[in-house]
A and B are shown apart, each in its own frame.
Chain A
Amino acid sequence: MKPARFSYEAPTSLDAALKSLATWRGDAKIIAGGQSLAPMLNMRLARPDHLIDINGLADLGRVAVDDDNRLSIGALVRHHQLGHHELVAQHCPMFAHAAETIGHYAIRQRGTIGGSLAHADPAAQLPLAALTLDAELELRTATARRTVMADAFFVSIFTTAIEPDELLVAVRLPRRKPREGWGFRLFNRRAGDFSIVSVAATVARGEGAAIERLRLAIGGIGPVPVRAEHLVPAELVTALTEDWPARVAAAVAATVEIEDNERTPVVFRRELVESLTRDALDEALERAR
């Protein structure tokens, strides 16, 4: 459990970090909290020649509401900060909750939002929450800047749209609508483990039984988390009915594609999708009042 040899630098400015990244490209790894990367280094599943430590870039540790009225979260914000930040709780409460379900107390003190999203574990909480909440991710190189929506960012297992010379610097989230509730449910066998299946949902209510917007996403059933509201029958998308959460959950579970894997049978994960979706929607409706 000792990593292979690597060289190391801790740049003190974003420019310096990006310049170094432009030189090293795929031979370097960015290290932030290190709660995913360090285990991979220690087990030699990753063997970069060089580590660029961005923990000194204080500018990446900010949370603010930006000019477009979105919540902007710097890549270096730790899970514990996310879980306890007033602006996150106010504007994107699901994100705060999701962060608090990650790993354990000590892990959450170090792990960062940028690290979790860039690592792109298919069962991780923040990728699922980012996908559900239509997050936009800001990527920088030494010379350019672009943004990628969450649904295009997660490409495959442990694979994102980040190019070798790019650094994820911030995440922007549209703020919660009025009368929008959220639910976030996951199932795992041991506290702190990655979940087997996880479901996130938001429900914005209109007048009476009308639904203004439903967002639903599922993690743990394929290489990346997926949006699932398109699987909901049309008559259930626009208005609440009797047993709405259960009916939506049954429809989604019956049709969603689930990748086969040896550890957890598809039939079991389909049952989890149904029960977690129902519970997440129940929870979202409760909060949408």
Chain B
Amino acid sequence: MTGSDPIPVTLTVNGRTYRVFAEPRRLLSDVLREDCCLTGTHVGCEHGVCGACTILFDGAPARACLLYAVQAQGHAITTIEAFAANGELSVVQQALHEEHGLQCGFCTPGIVVTMEAWLDRHPDPTEAEIREALSGNLCRCTGYHNIVAAVMKAAARRRTEVVR
């Protein structure tokens, strides 16, 4: 056995504990999909460019393909599955649905995860700020018009929810 063989890795994903065996080189995105069976995290480019695999790492958006599963031990991982946990869509998900902000849906998990976290810190964004924030998530179907409209709508709704 060498140091690059599989080792026990304990992950906390969406509040649940997963015990898996993984080689140190295994991408967090692969372990989430293949070992934890959380296939909502999509894998596009595997080098950090497309944003489809974005998860929350201790609450901050991060590319799951640029993390190795061993690195995630002791940290809180949140995946797209946590955003509609009780069967109700999150604010961004609902707005994307209403504004026709997705077609094939491949990029959508990364967009939802990134934008929910970004809106927490930027509750009253301008359209230009939204476009800048979205630039890290590539969509090859719709163009960004409807996605931007959805995020604008989600931001407005989140503000009313906070007031309420």
User: Chain A: residues with CB nearer than 8 A to chain B?
Assistant: 1-8, 10, 31, 34-35, 38-39, 41-43, 50-51, 53, 55, 80, 103-107, 109-110, 191-192
Q: Are B51 and A106 in contact (CB under 8 A)?
A: yes
| Residues B24-61 near A (CB distance < 8 A) | 24-25, 27, 30, 45-48, 51, 54, 57, 60-61
Residues of chain A within 8 A of B45, CB atoms compared:
1
Tell me which of A4, A8, A34 contacts B66 (CB under 8 A). Answer: A34
Inter-chain contact A35/B136, CB cutoff 8 Å: no
Question: Which chain B positions have C-beta within 8 A of A106?
Answer: 51, 54, 60-63, 114, 136
Interface pairs (16), CB distance under 8 Å = A1-B46, A5-B23, A10-B70, A34-B66, A35-B63, A38-B67, A38-B68, A39-B48, A42-B27, A51-B24, A51-B68, A55-B71, A105-B136, A106-B54, A110-B60, A110-B62
Asked if A1 contacts B48 (CB within 8 A), the reply is no
A191 CA to B137 CA in the complex, in Å?
Answer: 11
Whole-angstrom distance from the CB of B54 to the nearest CB of chain A? Answer: 5
How far, in angstroms, from A42 to B66 measured CA to CA in the complex?
8
In the complex the two chains form, what is the Cα distance from A42 to B65 in whole Å? Answer: 9
B65's nearest neighbour on chain A, judged by CB, is A42
* Contact yes or no, A42 B46, CB < 8 A: yes
Count how many pairs of residues, one from A and one from B, have CB atoms less than 8 Å apart in the complex.
91
Enumerate chain A residues within 8 angstroms of B132, measured Cβ to Cβ. 191
Contact with A along B121-164 (1 / 0, CB 8 A): 00000000000110111000000000000000000000000000
B4 touches A5 (CB 8 A): yes
Q: How far is the CB of B32 from chain A (nearest CB, A)?
A: 15
Determine whether B21 belongs to the interface, using a CB cutoff of 8 Å to chain A.
no
Contacts of A55 in B (CB 8 A): 71
Known: A106-B51, A192-B135. 20 other contacts (CB 8 A): A1-B65, A4-B25, A5-B25, A7-B3, A31-B71, A34-B67, A35-B66, A38-B65, A42-B27, A43-B47, A80-B60, A103-B136, A104-B135, A104-B136, A105-B61, A106-B60, A110-B57, A110-B62, A191-B132, A192-B136
Residues of B within 8 A of A (CB): 2-4, 23-25, 27, 30, 45-48, 51, 54, 57, 60-63, 65-68, 70-71, 114, 118, 132-133, 135-137
* Closest chain B CB from A51 CB (angstroms): 7
CB of A58, distance to nearest CB on chain B (Å):
13
Of B4, B61, B67, B118, the contact of A7 (CB 8 Å cutoff): B4
Chain A residue, CB-CB nearest to B67: A34
CB contacts (< 8 Å) of B47 on chain A: these are: 1, 38-39, 42-43
- Determine the chain A residues whose CB is within 8 A of the CB of B118 once the complex forms: 105
Closest to A8 in B: B24
- Contact partner of B2 (CB less than 8 A), chosen from A2, A7, A53, is A7
Find the A residue at minimum CB distance from B60.
A109
Q: Which residues of B contact A4 (CB under 8 A)?
A: 25
Closest chain B CB from A81 CB (angstroms): 10
Chain A neighbourhood of B60, CB < 8 A = 80, 106, 109-110
- Chain A residues within an 8 Å CB radius of B4: 5-7
What residue of chain B has the Cβ atom nearest to residue A190's Cβ?
B135
Contact call B62/A109, Cβ cutoff below 8 A: yes
**4 nearest interchain CB pairs?**
A104-B136, A7-B3, A1-B46, A8-B24
B123 to chain A, nearest CB (A): 15
Q: Closest chain B residue to A43 by CB distance?
A: B47
CB distance from B81 to the nearest CB of A (A): 18
Which residues of the partner chain A approach B46 to less than 8 Å between Cβ atoms? 1-2, 42
